[in-house]
Amino acid sequence: MAKKAAAKKPAAKKAETCCDEAHEILVVGSKVKAYLKSKDVLVSGEMIPAVSCKVACLLGKAVERCKANGRKTVKPCDL
């Protein structure tokens, strides 16, 4: 008897990136690593750029909300 062809597993989803453009690192890498290590976890080398990307996205949305409200000052409520 012929063997059945193994069913292909669906490809794993890639993590969505929040920012479409390259930007400088916006977080202090040593502080992020220290915080995570204090929680007794290991830190990937890709973690700092990923956190920075999330921060850039969060700040970008805050700027959009600020401008939509007719202000030039970004406030905590914009986050």
Query: 9-28 as b/e, with b when 16 or more CB fall inside 10 Å?
Result: eeeeeeeeeeeeeeeeeebe
The pLDDT value given to residue 1: 61
Alpha carbon 43 to its chain centroid, in Å, reads 14
* 54 within domain boundaries: yes
- Where in the sequence is the domain holding 51, given as residue range(s)? 44-79
* 19 within domain boundaries: no
* 60 within domain boundaries: yes
* 56 within domain boundaries: yes
* 20 within domain boundaries: no
Looking at the 3D structure of the chain, how many domains does it have?
A: 1
Residues in the chain with pLDDT values less than 50: 12-16
